[in-house]
Structure 1
Amino acid sequence: MKVGIVGGTGDIGEGIAMRLSQHHEVIIGSREAEKAVTSSEECYRTLTDMGLSCTISGVSNQEAVDRGEVIILALPFKHVESTLSSLHGLEHKIVVSPVNPMEKRDYFVYTPPPEGSAALYIKKKLPAGTRLCTAFNTVAANKWKALTEDLEFAIPVCGDNPAAKETVMTLVNCIPHIRAYDAGPLAASCMVECLTPLLLNIARFNRLRDVGIQFR
């Protein structure tokens, strides 16, 4: 599968890219193609130095959309609108949102837009025919990048298109020890997105590191 990661040069994008590129072709995108090339080269070097094979490259965000079958939006919520407005060709693609709208105050606070979730906001910004799912929201960026660690976490996946949801769950499940769970329609994404500030608060106030979720 060809996976394009828009905004893929951040910690979350690079971490997911390194995990997925061991099993699929990953195309890291950035507003600056040169930055994406540098990022992909660093990811490639990290993986191959560990004796791991991968398929990864760096391009512009638009080329990542053009080449990818599944597009992951590894973006802070504040950059979603400006980035999506600069892209075209998302019709009929599977798009994945790991976006969690939140703010750090005295504690982490979930701050959804009026639509109720980042996912429903993103849906309004995407062209008709795009198949949007929520996934990858509940794992910390540094955990994605900790390649020597097994991630024994659950990943809730929301979406309205059963085939797209199944594809995304298959993509998630290619990462060893990670398990995807069907979390319902896209309208349920708010319940997934708000888990991240909750996990951050639990980690902070209990002096824990990188809290995740599992279902037993």
Structure 2
Amino acid sequence: MQQVVAVVGGTGAEGSGLALRFAKAGLRVLIGSRNLDRAQAAARQIASQAGAGEVTGHTNPDAVSKAAIVILTVPLSAQVETLKSIRTGLTSAVILVDATVPLEIGIGGRLSRTVTLWDGSAAQQAARLVPAAVPVVASFHALSAEALARLDQPVDCDTLICGDNPEAKAAVSQVAETIPGVHAIDAGPLDNARYLESSAALLIALNLRHKVKHCGLRITGLGHVYR
């Protein structure tokens, strides 16, 4: 059966990049936004670029109600409000993937630093805000929007996946690895999400220092876990 993935915040650079790659892989992709017109416009553009899959635009709650996997790709400043707006559509049958990076720039600080959250990480904050039965996974932080947008090239990066539900992590790994070049690696419980979020800030710092646009991560010594 065709996997249905909703990208909440799918009109932004990271969200649209992920949506583009998933559509290219033949998945059914639902673009979620607060604004239906923006979502539908983004969906048309992504569908045209991908030339494959099925891409449609929706309001955030509508996208969530139709998906098996929901990927949250909004800034930290919008995370709480967005989760409240989609909370009723999240059930034990829906996997929530939080890709939020809690960057200082959202509160007037530096682009390459993260803020400390009471819950420990943005993903743990998300887990607190949604129903307890919802499996929450953290992933996709290290995948550059610029690299995702280059359909003619594989994405030279691993994606680490944290969560407390093994089945949810396996499902997200399978979806992640539809992106050419991406290896998904189980990085333990959701408590480790803080390290994934910080790694994104480090990659931003490296991009700035070396004047490039899409640094990535590769984890070595784990060849036996790669498919």
Cα distance in 1 for residues equivalent to 2:100 and 2:54: 25
- Identity across matched positions, percent: 29
* Residue among 5, 8, 25 paired with 1:6: 8
Partner residue of 1:27?
30
Alignment partner of 2:160: what SS? strand
Read off the aligned partner of 2:137 and give its amino acid letter.
C
Alignment partner of 1:86: what SS? helix
* Residue among 15, 18, 27 paired with 2:17: 15
The CA deviation at 1:107 is 5.8
Partner residue of 1:183?
187
Partner residue of 1:77?
76
* Residues 112 and 118 in structure 1, CA contact (< 8 A), matched pair in contact too: no
* Residue among 114, 118, 123 paired with 1:114: 118
Aligned pairs, number: 212
The CA deviation at 1:75 is 0.6
* Residue among 128, 131, 139 paired with 1:127: 131
The CA deviation at 1:202 is 1.5
Cα distance in 2 for residues equivalent to 1:186 and 1:72: 15
* Residue among 203, 206, 215 paired with 1:202: 206
Cα distance in 2 for residues equivalent to 1:176 and 1:82: 33
Partner residue of 1:101?
102
Cα distance in 2 for residues equivalent to 1:42 and 1:208: 26
Residue ranges of structure 2 left out of the alignment (5+ in a row): 221-227
Alignment partner of 1:150: what SS? coil
Describe how 1:47-86 pairs up with structure 2 within 5 A.
47-48=50-51, 53-86=52-85
Residue ranges of structure 1 left out of the alignment (5+ in a row): none
**TM-score normalised according to structure 2 size:** 0.90
Read off the aligned partner of 2:143 and give its amino acid letter.
V
Alignment partner of 1:174: what SS? coil
Alignment partner of 1:158: what SS? strand
Change (3 A) 1:106 1:83: closer
The CA deviation at 1:174 is 1.2
The CA deviation at 1:186 is 0.3
CA RMSD across the alignment: 1.2
* Residues 103 and 111 in structure 2, CA contact (< 8 A), matched pair in contact too: no
Alignment partner of 2:70: what SS? strand
Partner residue of 1:40?
43
**TM-score normalised according to structure 1 size:** 0.94
Change (3 A) 1:203 1:84: same
